[in-house]
Amino acid sequence: MNISELLTAYDQQLRTDAETPSAVAVERLGPLRLVTFAGGRGFVTYQSLDGAGAATIAGWVAETAAFFRADPAIVRVEWKTRGHDAAPGLHEALLAFGFEPEETESVMVGPASALCADVDLPDGVSLRRVTEEPDIRAMSAMQDEVFGSPVSDGNAEAILRRAGLDDGMELWVAEHEGKIVSAGRLEPVAGTDFAGIWGGATLEAWRGLGIYRAVTAARAKAALTMGKKLIHSDSTEYSRPILERYGLLRVSTTTPYCWRR
């Protein structure tokens, strides 16, 4: 499949309610889906803005901001933008209502089979799938450290809630002498050809040794056993070159705009 075909599959299969399987509630505002997650998180997504002009888009941003601000339980809202969308005035409207852009990432899509390489791990490093709470909390703490966030229970609690749904999500880690040095999760998307690979993180001292590549291969092999042919991921500049080398294509970009109470 070429970039155009992969992008079409991404837009048609993933930019639906399939994108937010663990939502507590979803409200519709025109083409927008205003999603509420556990833990006080709001999320805004859509398949397209249907050719709307700047004034209409600004109105949607204003209504969205008011909707989430009216709920005191909501402490953070992410509006997920994609670089290939036609969205006149969206950036300016989001800034006007207190949303701030964060790091732009690459939307990577490609065949799961391309990622299924056998990787030689450094001595003493092993891979395994984790399911127990202590392992999940240790994995989450490592990811917080890598992403520069204070180590907290928030991310771990969210992953534990998601694991409780028993919807096929898998968590994979690489360990050295009992310490988790790399990790990532696999999320099959029900009713589609896709599985997502998310949360990829490796401690700085362990980068460049093929460990992230091995964690990615383990997740891709698991996806194929689930019948998922395509992988998608929002990738930083750390992981994008690795995925590109093994056959995933950069089909677009995504930039989260975040509001915090």
pLDDT in tens, the chain (261 residues): 899 999 999 999 999 988 888 899 999 999 999 999 988 999 999 999 989 999 999 999 999 999 999 999 999 999 999 999 999 999 999 999 999 999 999 999 999 999 998 899 999 999 999 999 999 999 999 999 998 877 777 788 888 888 888 889 999 999 999 999 999 999 999 999 999 999 889 999 999 999 999 999 999 999 999 999 999 999 988 889 888 988 899 999 999 999 999
Q: How many folded domains does the chain comprise?
A: 2
d(CA 7, CA 1): 10
Residue where a domain stops, chosen among 51, 74, 105 = 105
- Other beta carbons within 10 angstroms of residue 240's beta carbon come to 18
Tell me whether residue 91 is in a domain: yes
d(CA 71, CA 147): 28
Tell me whether residue 200 is in a domain: yes
Q: Are residues 96 and 116 in the same domain?
A: no
Q: Are residues 48 and 64 in the same domain?
A: yes
Q: The domain spanning residue 117 has which CATH number?
A: 3.40.630.30
Residue where a domain stops, chosen among 73, 90, 105 = 105
Question: What domain range is 136 assigned to?
Answer: 110-253
DSSP state of 112: G
Tell me whether residue 9 is in a domain: yes
Q: Which residue has the tokens 């994108």?
A: 19
Residue where a domain stops, chosen among 54, 79, 105 = 105
Q: Are residues 136 and 204 in the same domain?
A: yes
